[in-house]
Structure 1
Amino acid sequence: MNQEKYLDYIVEETQKVLAIDSPTGYTANAAEFVMEEYRKLGYEPQMTTKGGVFVDLGGENKDDGLVLAAHIDTLGAMVCEVKSNGNLKVSPLGGMNPNNAEAENCRIVTRFDGVYSGTFQLNNASIHVNGEYNDTQRKYDDMEVVLDENVSSAEETRKLGIMTGDIVCFDPRTVITESGYIKSRFLDDKLSVGILLGFAKYLKEEHITTKQRIYHHVTVYEEVGHGGAASMPDGVKEMISVDMGCVGEGLACTERQVSICAKDSNGPYNYDVVTRLIKAAKEEDIDFAVDVYPHYGSDVDVALGAGYDIRHGLIGSGVYASHGYERSHKDGVFNTFRLLCAYVK
C-alpha cells in the first residue's frame, strides 16, 4: 500500500481550508467546507451545536473509542472601536501578536454590508513623520486597521456598515516552495485538519476497519480555550490532539518531523499513550521527536479540564514561528500522517 499518494491530497486540502477565513467566532464557512469534504469521502459528518465538525469513521470497539481532534479556528481580531479618524481599533481573537501582525493585509467582515479590505498598522505609521516610530512598543492600543476606503471620520466609516463586533481576518499568505516547505499563517491548526482529512481518505480507500472506534472532532474554539470541552461520545476512552508540533530553541523537533508531546504547560500527557506513539514511530521507522512544550495548551487538555475520564496524547507536524508567519514541511506532514496510520493498527 502506497501511503505517499495521500500526501498531495493533504497539502491540497490544507491550501483550500487556509484560503477560507475562520478566526475564532467566525468559523461557519470553513466548517461547512470541511463537512462537505468528509461527505465526498463517504462519511456522514455532523455539526455540533458549537459549530464544530464531528465524524464517526467506523471501527469495531465503541467501548474503547478514540477521538482525533484538530481545530479549524484561527487567530484574528474584532473591531472594538470606530475611531474619530475613520480607522478601526481592534481587539485580538486568540493570541494574535501585534508585533508580527503589523503591516498585514486584512479583511473586515461586516454583519450586513459585505467585506472591506484594510491594513493593520501602527498609529501614525509613516517613519518620515513619526519620530517615535522605532521606539514605540507594538500594542493593540497603539495600532489600527487603515481601511482601503475614502473615509476620514467615524461617521463615514459607519456609513459603510462597519461597526463594533465585526470580524477582522488576516491574510494567510500561503506559499508552497519547490523544496517542500509550507509557509502560511494559521498552519496552527489547519495543517492538521488537512492531515485528518487525509487519514479519513486513507481508511476509506484502503478499506481499513480499526479495532477501536475512531472519531474526528474538528473544533472551532481552541484558540480561546474551550474547543474540546464538549461533544464526547459514549464509550470514548482516548483522545489525541493533532495540533502543531513546537519548533524552537531547547526543543528537538524540526519542521520535517512529527512531534510527540510528553508534557505541556498543563502537565504530562498520558504515559501509556505517549509510549505507544513512540513505539509505533520506532516500528515504522517514522522520523519523530519527543519534546516538552513550555507555553502550550491543547483541545485534549480542555477535555480533561471539562471532566472527561480519558487517556490523552498530542502529536503534530513540526511548525516554526508559531502564531506568526508559520512554516512546516511536507516531510513533517507525511510523518504525522504515517504515525496516525501506525498508531491505529
Structure 2
Amino acid sequence: MNRPDVPRAGARLEIDIDYLREQLEGLLAVPSPTGYTDNAVRHLCGELDKLGVGYDLTRRGAVRAHLRGQSANGARAVVGHLDTLGAQVKALKPNGRLELVPIGSWSARFAEGARTIIFSEKGAYRGTILPLRASGHTFGDEVDTLPVGWEHVELRVDAYASSVDDLTHLGIDVGDIVAIDPQPEFLDNGFIVSRHLDNKAGCAIMMAALKALKEGAEAPPVDIYWLFTIAEEVGHGAASILLPDIAEMVAVDNGTSAPGQNSSEFGVTIAMADMTGPFDFHLTRRLVELCDAHDIRRRKDVFRHYRSDSASAVEAGADVRTALITFGVDASHGYERIHMHALRSCSELLTVFTLSDMELKRDARPISGLAGFPRQPTLPAVQALSPDSRPPEGETD
C-alpha cells in the first residue's frame, strides 16, 4: 500500500534510440561556437516544432521550451547548452595566416590539425589549424620540440592568402569566429567519437526525453521547462533564463571519465559537487533514489575543474535547487568519446524525474515558514534508526 507521505517515483519511459542519435547527428552538423549560435537555435526550434512543444527565446537566443504539467506551482527545469568550444581571429599575420584565441577553455594540443570554418563578412572559408613548425621536411626535429599553446599555432585559410592585404581582400578580420569540425563517428558497438559531444549530446538527451514525455499518456505533476542555453562554455549558462516559478533545476552535461574520477561511459553519473561547491543535498539524493528504484545504472562523482549551467544561475542569485546528471566523456574538450548506453540512461532518468512528485511541497512557494522544511541526517546510522531519534511530538517535517 502506498503511503501518502512518500512522493510518487514516476515512470521510466522507453527512449527512442534512433531519434536520440538523429538529434545528436543533426546538432553536430550545425556549427555553434559560443557567440555564433543562431543557426543552432533555429535548428533546435525546428525540432521542437516537430514535437509540438511551445517555446520562447531570449534576446540572444537561449530557448525556453514548456511542457505543461498538472500544476504551474513549483515548476522544474532541465537545462543543457547548445554552444561549443571554438576560436576567434586575434590577428592577421604577415604570412597570410591567422592568429587565434580560444573560445572556451580547451588546449591548443587538440587544435593542432583541426579542420575549421572561418565565418567572415564576405562568407565562410575552410581552413586548418597548424603548429608554427608544421613541416618536418623544413624544420626537422623542431616539429617535435615546439611547445604547446595557442601562441604556437596558426590557421591556414584554404584560399589565396599570403599577406595581410590578401586576408583583408577575402573579408577576413580580427574577431571573426572559427568553428571546429566535429568529425563524428557513430560505431556499431554503441561508442560515439566526436568533438563537441559536450554538450550536443546533452541536448540530444533532453530532446529524446521530451519526445518520450510528449508521447506518454501521463502529464507531469508540475510544469517542466526545457532550457537550452547558448554561452555555457564561457561561464554564462542559465543565469538569465530562469523563471521565479522554477523550484528545481537539473543540468545535463558531460562527466569526465578519466583517471582519478568516478564517471563512466555507461549509465548515469550524478555529480555531487563541482568547482562551485556541492549540489543541492535533497535533489541530488532524490535523483540517486530514482535511479535505484528504476534500475538505472548510476555512479557518483565530484568534479574539481568543472562547472555547468547551474553554477551561473546560483551565482546570479537564483533561489533554486540544482543538480547535475552527466554522461561519461573520455578526453573531454578534445576528441571526445561517449557511449549510447549513457545517453539512453540519462534520458530515462529525466523521464522518471519529471514524472515524479515533488518531494518538498513547500518549494512550490518561493518563501514560506519552517513547516515542511527538510532535515539532513546528523546522527550515526544506528541512532538514526532508533525511536529516540524521531522529531519531538507535534513538530512537522
> What TM-score, normalized by structure 1, do the two folds share?
0.97
Q: Distance in 2 between matches of 1:248 and 1:61?
A: 41
Q: Distance in 2 between matches of 1:251 and 1:312?
A: 21
2:172 partner amino acid: I
2:251 partner amino acid: S
1:115 counterpart = 2:115: no
2:276 maps to which of 266, 269, 272: 266
Superposed, which structure 2 residues align to 1:112-261 within 5 Å? 113-130=122-139, 131-261=141-271
2:217 partner amino acid: H
Aligned match of 2:389: none
Identity %, equivalent residues: 36
1:8 counterpart = 2:10: no
Does the 8 Å CA contact 2:108/2:148 hold for their aligned counterparts?
yes
Does the 8 Å CA contact 2:12/2:294 hold for their aligned counterparts?
no
The 10-residue stretch of structure 1 (206-215 or 17-26) with the greater mean CA deviation from structure 2? 206-215
Q: Distance in 1 between matches of 2:351 and 2:61?
A: 27
- Displacement, 1:139? 1.2
1:335 counterpart = 2:364: no
1:45 counterpart = 2:55: yes
Aligned match of 2:108: 98
The 10-residue stretch of structure 1 (322-331 or 122-131) with the greater mean CA deviation from structure 2? 122-131
1:322 counterpart = 2:332: yes
**Greater strand proportion:** 1
1:65 maps to which of 75, 85, 88: 75
Does the 8 Å CA contact 1:257/1:332 hold for their aligned counterparts?
yes
Q: Distance in 2 between matches of 1:208 and 1:18?
A: 32
Q: Distance in 1 between matches of 2:352 and 2:14?
A: 14
Structure 2 residue matching 1:155: 3-state secondary structure: helix
- Displacement, 1:3? 4.5
> What TM-score, normalized by structure 2, do the two folds share?
0.85
C-alpha spacing 1:249/1:144, structure 2 compared with 1 (3 Å): same
- Displacement, 1:65? 0.9
Structure 2's unaligned 5+ residue stretches are 1-10, 357-397
1:84 maps to which of 64, 81, 94: 94
Q: Distance in 2 between matches of 1:220 and 1:307?
A: 19
Does the 8 Å CA contact 1:241/1:300 hold for their aligned counterparts?
yes
C-alpha spacing 1:49/1:261, structure 2 compared with 1 (3 Å): same
Q: Distance in 2 between matches of 1:3 and 1:173?
A: 31
Does the 8 Å CA contact 1:192/1:243 hold for their aligned counterparts?
yes
Q: Which runs of 4+ in 1 moved over 4 A?
A: 1-5
- Displacement, 1:83? 0.5
- Displacement, 1:132? 2.0
Aligned match of 1:280: 290
Q: Distance in 1 between matches of 2:250 and 2:281?
A: 13
Q: Distance in 1 between matches of 2:78 and 2:334?
A: 25
2:29 partner amino acid: A
Quick check: which has more Rg, 1 or 2? 2
Aligned match of 2:45: 35
1:186 partner amino acid: H
- Displacement, 1:227? 1.9
Q: Distance in 2 between matches of 1:81 and 1:292?
A: 39
The 10-residue stretch of structure 1 (91-100 or 126-135) with the greater mean CA deviation from structure 2? 126-135
C-alpha spacing 1:4/1:223, structure 2 compared with 1 (3 Å): same
